[in-house]
Amino acid sequence: MGKSLFDKIWERHEVASGLLYIDLHLVHEVTSPQAFDGLRLNGRKVRRPDRTLATADHNTPTDGTPRAALIKDELSRVQVETLEKNAAEFGIPIYSLGSEGQGIVHVIGPELGVTQPGMTIVCGDSHTATHGAFGALSFGIGTSEVEHVLATQTLVQSKPKSMRIRYEGEPGFGVTAKDLILYTIGQMGTAGAAGYVVEYAGPAIEALSMEGRMTICNMTIEGGGRAGMIAPDQTTFDYVTGRPAAPSEVPPEWRELFSDPDAGFDKELVIDCTKISPMVSWGTNPAMVAPVSDKVPVAASEQDERALEYMGLSGGTPIEQIKLDRVFIGSCTNSRIGDLRTAAEVVRGRKVADNVYAMVVPGSVKVKAAAEAEGLDKVFREAGFDWRAAGCSMCLGMNPDIAAPGERVASTSNRNFEGRQGRGARTHLVSPQMAAAAAIEGHFVDIRTWSN
């Protein structure tokens, strides 16, 4: 039997049974302080500082605060300053506030070219699966594992099972990568890929840009997957080569990174793209989704009832009638330049509805600069959006960008759990285009038929 992409990368990195060599360790301020303390207590060094990269993102303010020392919130300031001190002490490159390389950890890795096909990549953040879009095997890890990787450059890991999701048929107009993955999670549930490394395949995946592929892989964890990956192809090679930390030519071994035609998978799922509409989440997990043209479902379980109550929704309400208070375009799911371009096209020449506060948070300082060079900031500002500085922002309630209790948010992020965007905040997961159109109308609209 042939080998899958996952098998090939696993075999190349398993240095002892259940022990993986890690090519790249990405570090941020929230899950690393105790890990560095552990190293100090045990008198250990970072094994490969040259294979480790730190950035500040989770609790950095997005108001343009230029230095860690000026962060107003004490806990956040201490965490970012601690990351800076730890990076200096252990010799790790860092992109903190004020640096041109700063940004969300899963945005800057690909941007710098440190994320490369065939690598094993870890980070103390669940959405590390994002890097799998490049044909890398990437895991989110916990704080004790962060310490282990810092000290040894290896990760203890028993081999997960493998799963392939094949996308057949062509997605219709207005259906984006975000809709593909929200629909998929809606179909298989939040445990549908539990314990599996998922390979996404098929013509609709191959047709996606790298940014679309990152959106898909990013949300693997929301379907329970351990990691998500996509075989690298010319689209990948064109994106990676020539970036600051990447080779200028495609190394021959990158061209071997695909699943053999007779590779076996423990589980397979086929998704018919022709059935997918632009999606909106209505509940409190990412499987609670519906087409924008549909209605909020009637509760079929206690879990549904609780979700509808938290979300302040009644079954049978047309999704397009859901009014919004806030719109957030950002997060490591949808804050790259391509995401901002598509959202800007929707808002160009239009105005944000009076009932909505809308914000755009670029994923990195470089994304922000690129968008400003193209005049996208002007498009958003003229429409009434708040144009912010890079960071995780409203993806999680860990920095000043939070929604008030009861506020309803159209969000391009990846999680809609209770309280994720602030205590009592109500999150609807959508694509950047959907978020942009909702900001203009003040409620959800079907972007396939929308005219403003």
Distance separating alpha carbons of residues 128 and 219, to the nearest angstrom: 10
Nearer to ligand SF4, 383 or 398 (CB): 398
Contact segment (CB under 6 A) with ligand SF4 among 101-109, 161-169, 353-361, 439-447 equals: 101-109
* β 326-329/357-360 pair status: parallel
Task: Choose which of 125, 147, 199, 401 interacts with ligand SF4 (CB under 6 A).
Answer: 125
Task: Collapse the DSSP code of 391 into the 3-class scheme (helix H, G, I; strand E, B; otherwise coil) and give the result.
Answer: coil
Q: Is 77 in the site for ligand SF4 (CB under 6 A)?
A: no
Q: What is the C-alpha to C-alpha distance for residues 252 and 265, in angstroms, rounded to an integer?
A: 26
Establish if 339 lies at the interface with ligand SF4 (CB under 6 A): no
How many residues touch ligand SF4 under the rule CB under 6 A: the total is 13
CA distance 278 to 294: 10
Q: Report the alpha-carbon distance of residue 271 to residue 264 in Å, rounded.
A: 18
Tell me 333's DSSP state. T
Q: Does 402 bind ligand SF4 (CB under 6 A)?
A: no
10 Å Cβ neighbour count for 446? Answer: 18
Nearer to ligand SF4, 257 or 392 (CB): 392
- Which of positions 236-295 make contact with ligand SF4 (CB under 6 A)? none
Find the shortest distance in angstroms from Cβ 274 to ligand SF4. 30
Radius of gyration (Cα) for the chain, nearest Å? 21
Return the structure tokens found at 349.
């020449």
Max Cα distance, the chain (Å): 63
Q: Does 211 bind ligand SF4 (CB under 6 A)?
A: no
Scanning 71-79, 98-106, 186-194, 284-292 for contacts with ligand SF4 by CB under 6 A, the matching segment is 98-106
Among 83, 104, 204, 437, binds ligand SF4 (CB under 6 A): 104
Helix (H) or strand (E) holding 35: helix 33-41
Which strand (E) or helix (H) includes residue 76? helix 74-90
Among 392, 402, 436, 437, binds ligand SF4 (CB under 6 A): 392
**Exposure letters 128-143 (e unless 16+ CB within 10 A, then b):** bbbbbbbbbbbbbbeb
Stretch that binds ligand SF4, among 4-12, 103-111, 154-162, 429-437 (CB under 6 A): 103-111
Q: Is 414 in the site for ligand SF4 (CB under 6 A)?
A: yes
53 binds ligand SF4 (CB under 6 A): no
By CB under 6 A, name the one of 55, 60, 96, 331 that touches ligand SF4. 331
Which CB sits closer to ligand SF4, 322 or 430? 430
Range in contact with ligand SF4 (rule: CB under 6 A) among 100-108, 154-162, 346-354, 364-372 = 100-108
**In 289-413, where do the E strands start and end?**
289-291, 326-329, 357-360, 386-387, 408-411
Contacting positions for ligand SF4 (CB under 6 A): 57-58, 104-106, 125, 127, 331-332, 392, 395-396, 414
